[in-house]
Amino acid sequence: MTVVTVEKDYESLSLIMLAEFDAPLERVWELWADPRQLERWWGPPTHPSTVVTHDLAVGGEVTYFMTDPDGRRSHGRWRVTSVDPPRALAFTDGFADPDGTLRPGTPRTEVRVQLAEHDGGTRMDLRFTFESGAHMEQLDRLGAFDVFPQSVGQMDAVIHAS
């Protein structure tokens, strides 16, 4: 399996995931740094993603949308908080309006990515923390998890079919 370990802290809603790949570090970095490669893995097959803008600089943004089976788009945006190519990236991922503006009051996920050479391949350390916007109560609809894949089992099936 690619995912090596997962640690979850249910009280602080944080998650740590370690994964290993049989690929050089620079190649793994490209999956994040190249928008055309990023969009091939960001959204699940049921909700393919399209990266609209992509600027991996501190303060830069990545805007994207995912399209559901009915053709509806849900938009998201990263705000890059730190970057050290090709080894580290941190960003806040949140829900956005179609023009890329972050929707106030919607939950955000802080994501930290670290890559390191390991055993002839690459180890990827992912850390996630949920954040909430200030005006959560005013949010009419969340729809937060529509875009997430159904289950790992189904993902495996997709991968094997490809």
Q: Judged by CB, which is closer to other proteins: 82, or 132?
A: 132
Shortest spacing between CB 118 and other proteins, in angstroms: 14
Q: Any long-range contacts for 151-157 (C-beta under 8 Å, 24+ apart)?
A: 155/44
**Structural contact between residues 159 and 43, judged by C-beta atoms closer than 8 angstroms:** no
- Residue type, position 162, single letter: S
Q: Is 122 exposed, middle or buried (0-12, 13-18, 19+ CB in 10 A)?
A: buried
Report the run of H or E that residue 153 belongs to, with start and end. Answer: helix 152-161
Shortest spacing between CB 96 and other proteins, in angstroms: 17
Q: Judged by CB, which is closer to other proteins: 31, or 80?
A: 31
Q: Judged by CB, which is closer to other proteins: 58, or 132?
A: 132
Residues that bind other proteins (CB under 8 A): 1-3, 6, 8, 10-13, 15, 17, 19, 21-23, 27-28, 31, 37, 40-42, 44, 107, 109, 124, 126, 128, 130-133, 136-137, 139, 141-152, 155-156, 159, 162
Shortest spacing between CB 42 and other proteins, in angstroms: 7
Q: Judged by CB, which is closer to other proteins: 58, or 85?
A: 85
Shortest spacing between CB 90 and other proteins, in angstroms: 15
Shortest spacing between CB 95 and other proteins, in angstroms: 12
